[in-house]
Structure 1
Amino acid sequence: MVERFVYGITALPFLIGTLVSGNAMGGDVVTRFEDPAIVESSGLAVVDGLLVTTNDSGDSGRIFAVDPSNGQTAGVTSWSADPTDVEALAPAGGGEVWVGDIGDNLAKRDSVSVARVPIGRQDADVDVPSYELLYPDGPRDAESLLADPATGRLYVISKGVLGGAVYAAPERLSPRKPNQLQEIGPVLGIATDAAFFPDGRHIIVRNYSQAAVYSWPNLEEVGRFGLPQQEQGEGVAVAADGTIYVSSEGIRAPVLRISLPAAVRRAMRPQPTSTPSPDSASPSPSPSPSPTLPPGTRQGRELPEAAPEDRSAWGWALGGVLGLGIVIVVARALRPR
């Protein structure tokens, strides 16, 4: 109980800093999760025109495929009787999703796991293999799972208060032995979900009130912006046409469609390649091809200038002051008497 309390109050100042910094984007309500069984939606994916979600800890292992035209559940796939803490989904292709049993609020789990589960417009009870994942530096809480649209490789993002970290799973997962994760770079703190864009060149990571777009695979931040106010924003998904959806926990929670700020959209555009003029007297020698950089490499990249409203630091200052006060109170409360 004391551990959970300390964890919560430690995160509080950073949550406050997140909530009060930056300007919020508007969002259009696409639908609502009308199924009364969807009460703690904690992951979101778009598969074959369906909005796919799952409840987090406390529910059985089941995935809901929701028709966006009316918010009704079109099919439920049950894949596990007793998962530990399901928190995330990622498209797997072929009418399937990866489901991540990766939550670990107190960072005590020896390992976490993922499974590939079919979904669709019908109810199903399936028996699928589970793949065990191990962090290289001890247990981590996480709520974000990514699947590279080009390679299918999985990535987990930790929910760190001071900042999240992206961990790569092996290219081929083994169902017979633990799969070692590899840390490849930092991202937004308190991350609650993430998704690839269809081009495979960018990802979006969200927390309760903000989202950040990163180039892939070098994880340079392209831009950061506020999200619409939600009860407890947990999900983000990007459809095949690039449409971004965000979701929240709660009964009849709305699913919102959002647009990226213009500056972020511009920064995501492919850089034009210059071609020599046909009538050039002496064409320049062709440059040597750039090496392919591994995930997390930041060589030769420069961040775009952030908008003034996105650079406000007073929220973090307020959070820091409150955090200092909280630490003093906790220290006194836990002092032996």
Structure 2
Amino acid sequence: MPIKKPILMFRVGYMLQYDGIADIKGGGSHIEKHGEGGEMWNFRPESGRCYGYVMTRHFSGIDLSRIDGSKSWHVNEELEGVNIVFFAKKPEGGQKVIGWYKNATVFHKKYRKRRGLKTYGDWEKLDYLCEVDAENAVLLDESDRTFEVPYAPVHGKGYPGHSNVWYGDAKEPRSQEFLKNLGNYIDQYSKAAGKPNGAGKSGSRSSQYDKELIASIEKAAISTTWDYYEGLGYKLTSVEKDNRGWDLEALKDAELLLLEVKGHIGSVVQFELTPNEYIQMQSNAFSYRVCMVRACLSMPELTILFPKKIGQDWMLETADLKVRVQLSEKIAAKASEVI
């Protein structure tokens, strides 16, 4: 399916793989000075997702009102279904498309944080401003990086210019023609590669594997949390099947803690609270804990998060405030035909 608006184009430094620290060329003054940049991890999957970075002016992030002006956007709100095309200046010259994300989620004027993997020699904290299912992230082989991206100061107004972010909203006819050609190029590449959207999601074997993986993650997260609190002298009880809005209860003398456990195979903070869990968190904020366990199936790392209300909003944070997680309320609806 041809790529459609909304579309973003990100100029990044030039690399071969974008899966961790390696040789990188171009990409702006920061890379020229330090020889590294946040885009170095743009195409390394983690727990089935890829996390995208581009250097924006004053670290201001992406302005979603440039993509969807139908509403007022608040910092850290999300917009889904955005197509992102990455391009870079090749060492031998010329700006070329190096890959893309289809149907990505982009955050308004906000970079989020994730931890690097120490075994890979990553940075301790990695910034990202968009994310996508790994199956919708395409990194071109070097020999396939042939689609040229015109440079506005040389080729004229209506093309990507000095900024590392181009919103594709220029009105010039040449701009619209460029976007059309870009869409056709990506469409033809997808057909030639035999990778239709959604490939790999169906099939009983895949579904069974997903269920087994999720069960393993949940089991490891519960075990890690249980062992931690038991080591502190608490008596643990599982209430996972009781639909109370938390998974475990930890009792020590007169103190009763309500523990909601969230497990991850990777290091990114990526979880949701069900409506019941969210209500119980607010009602029992003093005793409620969200126990986030990262790297469940390798080297489990437990982070204890405490609820905190700030104005009308809720956050989760560690006791030392080193980790702070913003909670964003979402409203869902199910459609059904009526007579």
TM-score w.r.t. the length of structure 2 is 0.25
Q: Which has the higher helix share?
A: 2
Structure (1 or 2) with the larger CA radius of gyration: 2
TM-score w.r.t. the length of structure 1 is 0.25
Q: Which has the higher strand share?
A: 1
